Amino acid sequence: MIAETNKNKSFNRLQVTLSAVSHFITDIYQAFIVGLIPLLTIKFGLSLFQIALLTATSVIANSFFSPVFGFFSDRHGIKYFLIIGPLVTSVFLSLLGIIPNYYLLIICLFIGNLGIAAYHPASAAVAGYFGGSRKAVSSSIINFGGNFGNALGVLIIILIVENIDMKFTPAAMIPGIIIVIVLLKYAFSSVNKSSRLSIHRFTSKLKSVSRKKIYLLGLILFCIYTLYILWITLFTYMPLYYTGMGLPLISAGAVMFLFNMLGGAAGMISGWLFDRFKKGIYIIQAGFISAIPLLYFTFRAPATISIFLFILGGIFLISVQPVCIRLTQDLLPGSMSFASSLILGFAPGLAGITMIFLGKAADRIGINMLVHLELILAAFTVLVLFIFAIVSKMNLLQGRSKSGYL
């Protein structure tokens, strides 16, 4: 894979910083659709189902294709994907404000999010390759860059359309093009040819994975699936919910900014806790247990208190993401990009498909009831994670003491 990287246990500040910054800029564009949803709803007369289809298209494109890009990233080197991803994303998602109809909007969203699918596995793998003995912290830093960008992107696109005009959204592609130029010059490019991941070697490695590891991997994927179901639903519908309560669009954007940014910051803390105490499952359980009541009462409180509870719930909910990534990379240490793509790709992709049906449900039962039902799924996930803990304690996973599951 990466020449000499695994032999070098030191923390590579340049590569981790580059990944965090490029993740920040790339995910700014990913969030544009969220900031535009209230305006597009009016422009095209969208139902809750059609809104959900926009989000689902984005998530499916940047998720289900992510493992494919993750495989080729492991095989050919991460630099190509670190560059192509932001380029495609910045160009196509900056065009959302000038798209003339709903169907072209879907196509543009799909192509733009393919760029994100190409970028995310390679970016996440940087923590595994260059994090040294601080891989979880590195993963958290890189994830924070993405979450911060995702949060800020909502505000940026709202400021553009409110202070200038929707027809000027293509100008937003400039930062993406700049970071592509920087990555061309500084991103690590060498690939260890002797360790390139051929298809035969890749399938052989997957076949050699024990049933115990597959079982534990399935539990992590179920956990991250639940996280993304909640995250996507909240990020899709809460701007509509708060504007419906009378908040200005820019204020609703600020709420979503704090939701994602503080959640990403909390992920850095959870990453540090994982590196320090190696109690991954307990950290994930604590995040869900804390988020469930906060998000439940978000819909039963007046506006000011609701916003506070929503942001606080997001802090605990989003904080578990980097821990899930690190646990998966520990299960598949020879395929960092592919392991990352399972968390950043396959599980969210399933959540995106589910979101299509949840959009139909939202039209019938409303946003409040939909989130309440999803919180029941989150509570069930906490119970499922106790099974993970029991399996790990029974020593069904080789190398348990080094992996940090408990």
- Nearest Cα neighbor of 206 from 383, 58, 74, 395 is 74
pTM of the model: 0.76
Per-state percent for the chain, helix, strand, coil, to nearest 5 = 85, 0, 15
| Residue whose entry in the numeric block shows the structure tokens 């260890």 | 192
Q: How far apart are CA 164 and CA 149, in angstroms?
A: 21
How many C-beta atoms surround the C-beta of residue 149 within 10 A? 26
Q: How far apart are CA 277 and CA 145, in angstroms?
A: 24
For the chain, the domains span 13-196+207-403
Query: What is 13-196+207-403's CATH topology?
Result: Growth Hormone; Chain: A; (1.20.1250)
| Residue whose entry in the numeric block shows the structure tokens 């505000």 | 155
pLDDT digit of tens for each residue in the chain (406 aa)?
Answer: 444 444 446 778 888 889 899 999 999 999 899 889 888 988 899 999 999 999 899 989 988 887 788 778 777 778 888 999 999 999 999 999 899 999 999 999 999 999 998 998 888 788 777 877 677 778 778 888 887 898 899 899 999 988 888 888 999 999 999 999 999 888 875 444 444 555 555 566 556 666 777 777 888 889 989 999 999 999 889 988 998 899 998 999 899 989 988 988 898 888 888 878 778 888 999 999 999 999 999 999 999 999 999 999 999 999 988 888 778 777 776 665 666 666 667 788 888 899 999 999 999 999 999 999 999 999 999 998 887 667 666 644 455 445 555 5
How is 284-346 classified by DSSP, letter by letter?
A: HHHHHHHHHHHHHHHTTS-HHHHHHHHHHHHHHHHTTHHHHHHHHHHHSTT-HHHHHHIIIII
Q: Which amino acid is residue 66, in one-letter code?
A: S
How is 137-191 classified by DSSP, letter by letter?
A: HHHHHHHHHHHHHHHHHHHHHHHHHHHT-GGGGGGGGHHHHHHHHHHHHHS----
Q: How far apart are CA 301 and CA 311, in angstroms?
A: 13
Q: How far apart are CA 83 and CA 297, in angstroms?
A: 42
